[in-house]
Structure 1
Amino acid sequence: MTEYTEPDRAVADRLEPWIARLGADRKAYQHHVSRVLRFADLLFARTGAAGPPPSSREEFVTAATFHDLGIWAAGTFDYLEPSCALAGDWLITHGREDLSELVCRMIRDHHRIRPAGRAADPVELFRRADLIDVSCGARRFGLPFAAYAGVLRRYPDSGFHLKLAELTLRRALIHPLSPLPMIRW
């Protein structure tokens, strides 16, 4: 049986209202969120910057939990703004609206093609952590493959990448001139 960490519980608590909307994709999405947080921790440690690991910071846990949730909550593959709205609502409800701007930048820029700042900057760190997972470890920003594989063993894919491929294909068939609306320069 898998032992859950505090970040795992924080993610599960934030996702609880969305379990029905996630449906069969719940485990796949929850594991994606957990992998992104673990990759952010590993990348942060490599920067040598001081401070707590991302998985223990409100802005990272909230951004990670909601960053793709608009796919299911709003039923769209153009999900960045719906995901920002969900994160903003959660932050306001929990008295952390001071983090809204940062969390929305993290969500809006997590699919940027170009870097969003220095390696330890929260927006760039989050972008890199998500890219490690979305690329199935093809892009690791210096993270050893063994570290990547260890995170994947702890939080298996559970069909997440297959779901992304399905959503991408469906979007490309319906909107051939805009197959990936979440990509930013």
Structure 2
Amino acid sequence: MATKLEEAVAQRLEPWSAALGADRPVYTNHVLRVLSFCDALAGRTSGNTTAPSTREEFLTAAVFHDLGAWTANTFDYLAPSIDLAREWLTANSREDLIPLVVTMIDDHHKIRRAHGAEVELFRRADTIDVTAGLRRFGMARNDYRAVLDRYPATGFRPRLARFAAERTRAHPLSPFPMVKW
């Protein structure tokens, strides 16, 4: 039985099922891991009313943060992802969240600390997942493994490697355009 969070993520990703194709479960689990890591870093559990995963800005940023890689078919996906999030928030009368969600998406691959507590929390959660837990920002290994057991990363890193290889062949001087200082 799907949780409320899993249902919310699945519903939001539904319009892009065709673009995600066979990668839909790969991306869905990445989104769910990022949200779970946000909760863990904030010291909350999923479903807790104060957990980041229950907040619209985190849910929206997580669903859309990398989606542009599939919808725009590019590894330079920040702008397309931001556009998708902005459109979704506008269509759902949540324009008030656009500045924060845009910053969360735009800065989620910053090398240095991001400005703003929500932005930094989201950046750290995504970093935990992208680095396969090598960088956990104090999160216990058992907590990391529990999230991974629930939402396996099967296929995620190989897909990232394919995206990176394609980008590097096409743009050898700019292989990772989403990374910022």
TM-score range, shorter chain: over 0.9
Residues 66 and 84, structure 1, Cα contact 8 Å, conserved in 2 = yes
User: 3-12 or 103-112, which moves further after superposition?
Assistant: 3-12
Pairing of 1:1-185 with structure 2 (within 5 A): 3-45=1-43, 52-117=50-115, 121-185=117-181
User: C-alpha displacement at 1:158, in angstroms?
Assistant: 2.4
1-structure distance, mates of 2:115, 2:80: 24
2-structure distance, mates of 1:101, 1:12: 24
* Deviation sequence 1:67-113 (CA, Å, 0-9, x none): 00000111111000100000010001011010011000000000000
1-structure distance, mates of 2:3, 2:39: 14
Q: TM-score, normalised by structure 2?
A: 0.95
Mind listing any 5+ residue stretches in structure 2 that lack a counterpart?
none
2-structure distance, mates of 1:83, 1:115: 21
2-structure distance, mates of 1:92, 1:7: 21
Secondary structure at 1:45 match in 2: coil
User: C-alpha displacement at 1:143, in angstroms?
Assistant: 0.2
Once superposed, which parts of structure 1, at least 4 consecutive aligned residues long, lie more than 2 Å away?
none
User: C-alpha displacement at 1:17, in angstroms?
Assistant: 0.3
Residues 38 and 55, structure 1, Cα contact 8 Å, conserved in 2 = yes
Q: Which amino acid letter does the alignment assign opposite residue 19 of structure 1?
A: S
Mind listing any 5+ residue stretches in structure 1 that lack a counterpart?
none
Q: Which amino acid letter does the alignment assign opposite residue 60 of structure 1?
A: F
Residues 27 and 158, structure 1, Cα contact 8 Å, conserved in 2 = no
1-structure distance, mates of 2:71, 2:131: 24
Residues 43 and 129, structure 1, Cα contact 8 Å, conserved in 2 = yes
Q: TM-score, normalised by structure 1?
A: 0.93
1-structure distance, mates of 2:66, 2:85: 10
